[in-house]
Amino acid sequence: MRLMCRKLRTDVGPERALAILGARAGKLGLAPPAALCGEWFSSRAVIALNASLTPVRDVAEAFSIPTRMPDVRDAVPGAVGGGWFGYLSYDLTDPSGRSGALPPAAWGWVDRVLRLDTDGTWWFEALVPDGDPDPIDEVSAVESALAQLPEATTWRSSPLSRPLPSEHYDAVKACVHAIEAGELFQANICARFGGRFTGDPIALFAEGVRRLGARRAAFLTGDWGSVVSFSPELFLARHGRSVRSTPIKGTLPRRDAADEHLARRLRESTKDVAENVMITDLVRNDLGRVCATGSVRVPELLAVRPAPGVWHLESTVEGSLAEGIDDAALLAATFPPGSVTGAPKIRALDLIAELEPTARGVYTGAIGLASPIAGLELNVAIRTFEIHEDTIALGVGGGITADSDSDAEWQECLHKSAPLERLLG
């Protein structure tokens, strides 16, 4: 198989490109597009022209699918070409066995993508079987489509219903008691908001990309429903044998650029710093299980970064995969992400199952792409809408430590959900 790359003559934005491609796929009776926007594979956007995603219910199968790659010749630096678009839900490894409305996982092979590089140039990239001609006609057709105005689509959502604050208070207090009893150091306790939804999920994602500027935004859809993610967090990036994770822990409300000086309070917060350091150490241990001895390091600790509606503390952990380790083994060692579970992870998973009343679904799982050329990149599925039939759900939560305050933890949930609820209108 070979890679074909062609520069496109268009300066359309990624949100408009996705809307156009969605309408085009519907008219042609093709599978809908999928999209990654923000900071993915050293590009601003990677959009699958058509992505037919198949539900997967077995955890081992869900982890192994991204390893099934063809050999590709003549790879171009920076190119993606295609690969497996999909998601892994938290439900895959929930010890309670609960499941949300969407399938536990879904993957789909894609051999045509549009990629927007950091210079603002669009590329048509295709993985072409040996002996087949280059799809030049497709390039022209897509270029012509992108010159058109997108059809106007929209959505409607009811206000999201929330659990009683007292329910979250009780779960936080129970978690603090477990920490005080020495059962664990930290756990992520979450709540689930929900409402009614009608309209076009692509329109919701496109508007969210325009307004929120999330670094790890992702969109997937199919007969099973839609995942609309505005995540700021990288779960895994594997390029060649190098692997990287950037766990987020520590949150402060963010109202506008003028309050940047307030973000320094995060570095001075005993609770937020403790959250981040503990989870960074957990991620080091997870990667240490599959990386070469001595290769795991923390090049950045406790950096303050903006995200929709909040400031976050984030750290970066890097390593080099040991010989014989593939993406399936990497996922088995690290999933679900440490930042949305706790430390130690096994006890945190059990405690989450005890204290949270409903399944998390896709929320706190991972979404992204595995490419035979560019490697693997997955976000942490936070700030993520899950749409099923006429319902929409949003998970929110935070890390609980020994000095957590129940009311402050509930307010953190509301700070995280606020920009997404405003987006829904």
The three-point CA angle 317-318-322 to 5° equals 135
Q: What is the 3-state secondary structure (H, E, C) of the chain?
A: CEEEEEECCCCCCHHHHHHHHHHHHHHHCCCCCEEEEEEECCEEEEEECCCCCEEECCHHHHHHHHHCCCCCECCCCCCCCCEEEEEECHHHHCCCCCCCCCCCEEEEEECEEEEEECCCCEEEEEEECCCCCCCHHHHHHHHHHHCCCCCCCCEEECCCECCCHHHHHHHHHHHHHHHHCCCCCEEEEEEEEEEEEEECHHHHHHHHHHHHCCCEEEEEEECCEEEEEEECCEEEEEECCEEEEECEEEEEECCCHHHHHHHHHHHHCHHHHHHHHHHHHHHHHHHHCCECCCCCEEEEEEEEEEECCEEEEEEEEEEEECCCCCHHHHHHHHCCCHHHCEECHHHHHHHHHHHCCCCCCCCCCEEEEEECCCEEEEEECCCEEEEECCEEEEEEEEEECCCCCHHHHHHHHHHHHHHHHHHHC
Percent of the chain past pLDDT 90, that is, above it, reads: 93
Banded pLDDT at 11 (limits 50, 70, 90): very high
Do 82 and 41 form a contact (C-beta atoms < 8 A)?
no
The predicted pLDDT at position 131 comes to: 92
Least confident stretch, 267-271, 335-339, 399-403: 267-271
**pLDDT beyond 80 at 255:** no
Percent of the chain past pLDDT 70, that is, above it, reads: 99
The predicted pLDDT at position 127 comes to: 97
Looking at every residue in the chain, the average pLDDT score rounds to: 96
Give pLDDT tens digits for 22-41.
999 999 999 999 999 999 99
Whole-number Å distance between alpha carbons of 189 and 303:
23
Residue 295: what residue type? S
The predicted pLDDT at position 27 comes to: 94
Banded pLDDT at 258 (limits 50, 70, 90): low
Mean pLDDT throughout 134-149? 95
Find tokens 């689930």 and name the residue. 192
Banded pLDDT at 257 (limits 50, 70, 90): low
Banded pLDDT at 325 (limits 50, 70, 90): very high
- Tokens representing 319 are 């390593």
Terminal CA-to-CA distance of the chain, rounded, Å? 46
Catalytic residue set: 233, 249
Whole-number Å distance between alpha carbons of 51 and 38:
19
HSE value, Cβ hemisphere, 13 Å, CA-based, for 291: 23
Any idea what DSSP says for residue 222? E
pTM flag (> 0.95) = yes
The predicted pLDDT at position 150 comes to: 83
Give pLDDT tens digits for 189-236.
999 999 999 999 999 999 999 999 999 999 999 999 999 999 999 999
- Tokens representing 418 are 């606020």
Torsion of CA 281, 369, 119, 300, to 10 degrees: 0
Mean pLDDT throughout 380-408? 97
Domains contained in the chain, CATH given: 157-196+242-360+394-424 (3.60.120.10)
Give pLDDT tens digits for 35-80.
999 999 999 999 999 999 999 999 999 999 999 999 998 889 899 9
Mean pLDDT throughout 263-292? 93
